[in-house]
Amino acid sequence: MMKDILYAPWRSDYVTKEKIQGCVFCHISKNAKEDEKLHVLYRDEHCFIVMNRYPYTPGHFMIIPHFHTDALEELDEEIWLHISKLARRCVKMLKEGFGAHGVNLGMNLGEFAGAGIAQHIHLHLVPRWKGDTNFITTIAETRVYSSDFEKIYNRLRTLVPTYIK
């Protein structure tokens, strides 16, 4: 009997890639010279926007403050307002520039709230399209990602100057 095989050679990076020690978001924050390698879309004095390496949908990225904290209530109000302002611009970019029909925004504050990286808060922006929901994630513990990650990163990067600056 032949078994079905899911061939995903691009996932080899996940297994073989050098692991970042400490907080991955602080590493990205401190290494602006590596923005393209780290898939940073934007950065300023308060925060940066980076692609999610394990996205729920094509174009999933996060807005992350440079300030390291796991507690939203500890974040300076000016930084929180800045993140909110960027989120509004990013939603517009995803809808108008990227063609998303909707956008999920969310923060998982703490490990028990579902945060994959619980030690540094971050706001997820997940573009959504009509008919993009299915049960494969639930029943097969697999995500279907129908687009090339690098192409999406480059496309979003070209939209940033129009929508975010």
- Taking only the tens place, the pLDDT of each residue in 109-142 is 988 888 888 999 999 999 998 877 655 554 455 5
Q: Write out pLDDT tens, residues 58-116.
A: 999 999 999 999 999 999 999 999 999 999 999 999 999 999 999 999 999 988 888 88
Q: Which residues contact 95 (CB under 8 A, 6 or more apart)?
A: 101, 102, 103
Radius of gyration, alpha carbons of the chain: 17
Q: Which of 44, 40, 61 is nearest to 52 (CA)?
A: 61
Q: Tell me whether residue 29 is in a domain.
A: no
Tell me if 105 sits within 8 A of 127, measured CB to CB: no
- In a domain, residue 46? The reply is yes
130 Ramachandran zone, left/alpha/beta (phi>0; psi -120 to 50) = beta
Catalytic residue among 39, 66, 122, 124: 122
Q: Provide the number of structural domains found in the chain.
A: 1
- Known catalytic residue at 122: yes
In a domain, 130, yes or no: yes
**Cβ atoms within 10 Å, residue 21:** 7
Q: Please report whether residue 21 resides in a domain.
A: no
Q: pLDDT per residue over 21-68, tens digit each?
A: 889 999 999 999 999 999 999 999 999 999 998 888 899 999 999 999
